[in-house]
Structure 1
Amino acid sequence: MNKLALAFVLPFVLAACGGGQQPPAAPAQGAAPDQPAQPVPPKSAAQLYAERIDPILAGAWRSPENKARDTYRHPKETLAFFGLKPDMTVIEITPGGGWYAEILAPLLKDEGTYYAAVASPLSSDFAKKQADALRAKFAADPAEYGRAHVIEFDPKTPNLGAPNSADMVLTFRNAHNWVEAGTAPAMFKAFFDVLKPGGVLGVVDHRAPPGSDVEKTKDSGYLPQDFVIKLATDAGFKLDAQSEINANPKDTKDYPKGVWTLPPTLQLGDKDKYLAIGESDRMTLRFVKPAENAPAAP
C-alpha cells in the first residue's frame, strides 16, 4: 500500500478501535465527586426559641426599667423551663402592665399566637384601667403587638376560650390575688379546661415560708407553695416540675407591707435597704394537663 493510501485508511482504523476517543479526565486530586444537594433540616421550635429570645429581651420596645427587672425575674430561663416554643398558642393571665407581654407577644407573633387574658372591665375600675392601658400599649406598636389578642373573662366564672385549644397558660404573680378574692379554684379550673391534653400551666408567685397558714399570709402577697400545688392538682393538673430559678434567699418575708415592700413597688421607701434584698422569693411550677385516655402507669 502506498503512503497516500495508508494515510487515508489509518484514521478509520483508529476510530473503529476507539483510538480516536479521549479518555475522561480524572477528577482533580482531593475533589469530591458530584453529590445531590442535601436539604437543610428545618430548625426545631427549641432552636428557634434559643435564637430569638436574646434579641427580644434586648428589644427597643422594652423600657430600661422593665429590662432592669430581668435580673430578678429571669425570663429567658423561666420560659425555657416552662417549655415555651415560638409556634405555640399561649394565654397569659392578667398581664398587668405587660411586663411579660413585651416578651411573649413578639416571640409568638410569627408562628404562634399570644392571648392576654384580662378581667372584664365591668368587674372593677381597676380592671378597666388595666385593660385599657394594655390595649393602648399594643395599638401603639403594631410591629411587635399587631398580632396579639386581648380577651376578657369574668373573674367569678372565668372562661378563657374553646376547650382544649391552648398549648400553654402562664400566670406571673397573680395567684395570691385570686386566693384573696376567693376565685382561685375557678381560675385553675378555667386553665385546665382551655388547655389541650398535654398542655402546660406555668405558675410563678411569691412564696411563703414552708408550713405557713394561707389565711395568715395571703394578704401579704405570699402563698405556701404546697397550697398552690394543691390548687392546681385539685383542678386536674399533674405537677411536672419545680424550679428555683426565681428563688431569693435574701427575702425574709416579714415586712409590714408584704411583698410590696420590696422592689419594684417599694411601698416603705428605703430603697437602698430593699433594693439590696431584691424582688421576692418566688416559686416556679410547671403543671401538665394529663393526656386523654393515657394508659395508667404500671
Structure 2
Amino acid sequence: MKIASLAFVLSACLLSPFSNADTHLDAIQSAVDHNSRTSSNIQRDQYRHPAQTLNFFEVTPSSTVVEISPGGGWYTEILAPLLAEKGKLYAAHFPTNTSSEYYKNSRANFVKKLADNPIYNRVVLTEFAINHSEAIAPANSADIVLTFRNLHNWYSQNGDEALLNAYKQFYTALKPGGILGVVEHSLPLAQKDSDWLKSGYVPEELAIKLAEQAGFVLEATSDINANPKDTADYKHGVWTLPPSLRLKEQDRAKYLAIGESNRMTLKFRKPLTP
C-alpha cells in the first residue's frame, strides 16, 4: 500500500470516527464464503480479491455502504450478508425512468435477485446516473461509497463533467470523514496520450484529479487488484480479456492466461471539515 500523505493519514486516524484499528478481515471473509454466492461469481475472486479490497476500504459489519451501479450484484452478494445484522446497504442501480432497454433489463434482473433470497431483505434499492437528481442515499448518511469498474462508462458519456458529477453525488451522500472506494481499469502511463477513451481503461491521475476537484482527499492507493500481465493495448480494449473475451475462441488461452484487467484501487476520504 502506498500512502499518499502520511500527515493526513495520521490525523485521520486520530480524528475520524470511521478509523478502526481492527481490520474486520475475518468477518469480510465469512461474507465472501457465504453460501448464497453464485459459483460463477466465486470463480472471479482470484482476480477481484474481494476480502482484501473491502478491508482496504475499511468496510465493517456495522458500516452504512452505498454500492454504485451494482450491475448483476457481484459485490452485493458479499456486502449483503456482511451488513445484514448491524450495517446498511444502499444499492444505487440504474434509474427506473430510462429509455435504455439495457438499463431496464439490468435493473429488473437485479430486483429479481433481491427478491429471490432473504439475505437481501434489508438492501435499500436506490438510483444513480451521472445526470440524475435522485439521491443515492440520504445526504451525509453513508460511511462508505463503493464503485467498481464504472468510471470508464461515465467518462465515455461526457468526459470530465460526467465523472465530476458522479463524484459530487458520492460526496453528498458521505458523512464527513467517510470513504470513497474506487476500483477501475488502469491505463498505463505510456498510453496516456493515446486514443484511450473507448478502451475501457482510465488514467489513474485523471481519476484522482477529478475526485479531488469534487472535494475528496486521496488517502491511499493499493496494488491489491494490479495485474502486470495486462498490457492494455488490445483492439477491443479491456473487453478482450476475461470475463468478456470479446474475441471468443480466438487466442482464448492467451487472454485467459493474462486474466482480468490491471486495476487501480483508490481510497479517498471526505474531509471532516470542508
Shorter-normalised TM range:
0.7 to 0.9
- Which residue of the partner structure matches residue 132 of structure 1? 108
Aligned-partner residue type, residue 102 of structure 2: F
Runs (4+) of structure 1 exceeding 4 A deviation are 44-48
Aligned residues between the structures: 249
Aligned sequence identity (%): 49
User: For residues 164 and 215 of structure 1, what CA distance do their matches in structure 2 show?
Assistant: 39
Alignment of 1:1-298 (within 5 A): 49-123=24-98, 124-142=100-118, 144-158=119-133, 159-182=135-158, 183-210=162-189, 212-213=191-192, 216-269=195-248, 270-292=251-273
Secondary structure, aligned partner of 1:121? coil
Secondary structure, aligned partner of 2:202? coil
Q: Return closer, same or farther for 1:284/1:189 CA change in 2, 3 Å cut-off.
A: same
User: For residues 112 and 199 of structure 1, what CA distance do their matches in structure 2 show?
Assistant: 15
Secondary structure, aligned partner of 1:103? helix
Q: Return closer, same or farther for 1:214/1:229 CA change in 2, 3 Å cut-off.
A: farther
Contact 2:28 2:55 in 1 (8 A): no
Secondary structure, aligned partner of 2:24? helix
Q: Return closer, same or farther for 1:157/1:211 CA change in 2, 3 Å cut-off.
A: farther
Q: 1:52 offset after TM fit, Å? A: 2.2
The structure with more radius of gyration: 1
For residues 168-203 of structure 1, give each alpha carbon's deviation from its aligned partner in whole angstroms, at most 9, with x where no partner exists: 000000000000011211111100111000000000
Q: Return closer, same or farther for 1:191/1:215 CA change in 2, 3 Å cut-off.
A: farther
Q: 1:122 offset after TM fit, Å? A: 2.2
Q: Report the more deviating stretch, 235-244 or 158-167.
A: 158-167
Contact 1:120 1:155 in 2 (8 A): no
Contact 1:157 1:186 in 2 (8 A): no
Contact 1:214 1:224 in 2 (8 A): no
Contact 2:90 2:137 in 1 (8 A): no
Contact 1:45 1:86 in 2 (8 A): no
Q: 1:51 offset after TM fit, Å? A: 3.0
Q: 1:47 offset after TM fit, Å? A: 5.5
For residues 218-276 of structure 1, give each alpha carbon's deviation from its aligned partner in whole angstroms, at most 9, with x where no partner exists: 21100000000011001000000000000000001011111111011101123211110
Contact 2:185 2:262 in 1 (8 A): yes
Contact 1:199 1:288 in 2 (8 A): yes
Contact 1:109 1:147 in 2 (8 A): yes
User: For residues 214 and 112 of structure 1, what CA distance do their matches in structure 2 show?
Assistant: 43
User: For residues 88 and 57 of structure 1, what CA distance do their matches in structure 2 show?
Assistant: 16
Secondary structure, aligned partner of 1:65? helix
Which protein has greater RCO, CA pairs closer than 8 Å, 6+ apart?
2
Q: Normalised by the size of structure 1, how large is the TM-score?
A: 0.79
For residues 78-134 of structure 1, give each alpha carbon's deviation from its aligned partner in whole angstroms, at most 9, with x where no partner exists: 111111111111000001110000001110011000011012132222111111111
Secondary structure, aligned partner of 2:224? coil
Aligned-partner residue type, residue 207 of structure 2: V
Contact 1:119 1:155 in 2 (8 A): no
Aligned-partner residue type, residue 59 of structure 1: H
Q: Return closer, same or farther for 1:77/1:193 CA change in 2, 3 Å cut-off.
A: same
Contact 1:94 1:117 in 2 (8 A): yes
Q: Normalised by the size of structure 2, how large is the TM-score?
A: 0.86
Secondary structure, aligned partner of 1:122? coil
Q: Return closer, same or farther for 1:195/1:280 CA change in 2, 3 Å cut-off.
A: same
Gaps of 5+ in 2: 1-18
